[in-house]
Amino acid sequence: MKLFDVYPLYDVTPVSAKGIEIIDNKGQKYLDFYGGHAVISIGHSHPNYVNRLKSQLDKIGFYSNSVQNPLQTELAQKLGVLSNCEDYNLFLCNSGAEANENALKMASFHTGKSKVVAFKNGFHGRTSAAVAATDNQKINAPLNQQQKVTFLEFEDFTGLEEVLKTGDYCAVILEAIQGVGGLDEPSTEFYKFIQEKCKEHHVLVIADEVQSGFGRSGKFFGFQHHGIQPDIISMAKGMGNGFPVGGILIHKSIKASYGLLGTTFGGNHLACTATLAVLEVLEHENLIENAFKLESYFREIASTIPQVKKVKGRGLMLGLEFDFEVSDLRKKLIYNQYAFTGGSANKKLLRFLPALNITKEQITIFFNALKAEL
Q: What are 290-314's pLDDT values in tens digits?
A: 999 999 999 999 999 999 999 999 9
pLDDT tens-digit profile of 141-159?
999 999 999 999 999 999 9
Contact 341, 34 (CB under 8 A): yes
Q: Is the pTM value of this prediction over 0.95?
A: yes
pLDDT, position 7: 87
Q: How far apart are the first and last CA of the chain?
A: 42
- What does DSSP say about strands 149-152 and 115-119: parallel, antiparallel, or unpaired? parallel
Beta-bridge mates of residue 318: 313, 352
User: What whole-number distance in Å separates Cα of residue 237 and Cα of residue 245?
Assistant: 8
* Cα 350 from Cα 195, distance rounded (Å): 31
The SS3 call for residue 22 is strand
The 8 Å CB, 24+ separation contacts for 140-147 are: 147/116
The four Cα atoms 259, 252, 107, 139 give a dihedral, to 10 degrees, of -90
pLDDT of residue 328: 97
Q: How far apart are CA 71 and CA 79, in angstroms?
A: 12
Instruction: Report how far residue 358's alpha carbon sits from residue 287's, in angstroms, rounded to the nearest whole number.
Output: 9
DSSP state of 291: H
User: In one letter, which amino acid is 154?
Assistant: F
Measured distance CA(172)–CA(200) in Å, rounded: 13
Tell me if 210 sits within 8 A of 100, measured CB to CB. Answer: yes
Residue ranges in the chain whose pLDDT is less than 70: none
